[in-house]
Amino acid sequence: MVNTIVVGVDGSADSRRAVDWAGQLAEQTGARVVAVHAVGMLEHELGDPGGAHLRPQLDAWTAALDRLGADQVERRLVGAEPVGAISDVVAGCGSGVVVVVGTRGAGARGAARLGSTSLRLAEGCRCPVVIVPDPDERS
């Protein structure tokens, strides 16, 4: 049974597809969605280690979740690298957790099919991980 869907968000097209997919799963299962954005070193240098200035962006990146009930959606800015941020949230969610991410994030480079975050989560996460593919990418 799916109780919580943790979706990684970074504003990329792949992450928007992951948010949409997570929202659809939440509608079908009644699970709550926790959207997570990793706040990086740049925010520390800007004097905003909590990333408060990113809140409007996070809200915009996850607007597709607004169709769910307010008690069904949580948006978090987490001070850590992406895998650590998602893993920390998962650890606090109990059982019935599913992680949803896109294939590659905003910082993706090269021709790799999977970015480092999605690959590391698939290899090391202790719960199911859904990697939402780009439907336009050819095999």
Quote the domain boundaries for residue 62: 29-74
pLDDT at residue 106 tops 70: no
- DSSP code string of 62-108: TGGGGGS-GGGEEEEEEES-HHHHHHHHHHTS-SSEEEEEESS-TT-
Supply the pLDDT for residue 25. 97
pLDDT tens-digit map of 22-61: 999 999 999 999 999 998 755 555 666 677 888 999 999 9
pLDDT tens-digit map of 70-97: 999 999 999 888 999 999 999 999 899 9
Residue 46 in domain: yes
Supply the pLDDT for residue 31. 97
Q: Work out the percent of the chain whose per-residue pLDDT is above 90.
A: 67
Beta-bridge mates of residue 76: 36
Residue 47 in domain: yes
Residue 98 in domain: no
Residue 52 in domain: yes
85 C-beta neighbours (distance < 10 Å), count: 22
Residue 65 in domain: yes
The one-letter amino acid at 72 = Q
Residue 90 in domain: no
Supply the pLDDT for residue 53. 81
Q: How far is CA 49 from CA 4, 74, 76, 77, 86, in A?
A: 27, 20, 13, 10, 17
More confident residue, 105 or 131: 131
What is the number of structural domains in the chain?
A: 1
Task: Kindly give the pairing relationship between strand 129-132 and strand 97-102.
Answer: parallel
Residue 87 in domain: no
Q: Nearest-CA neighbor of 23 among 56, 67, 77, 60?
A: 67
pLDDT at residue 105 tops 80: no
3-state secondary structure of 122: helix
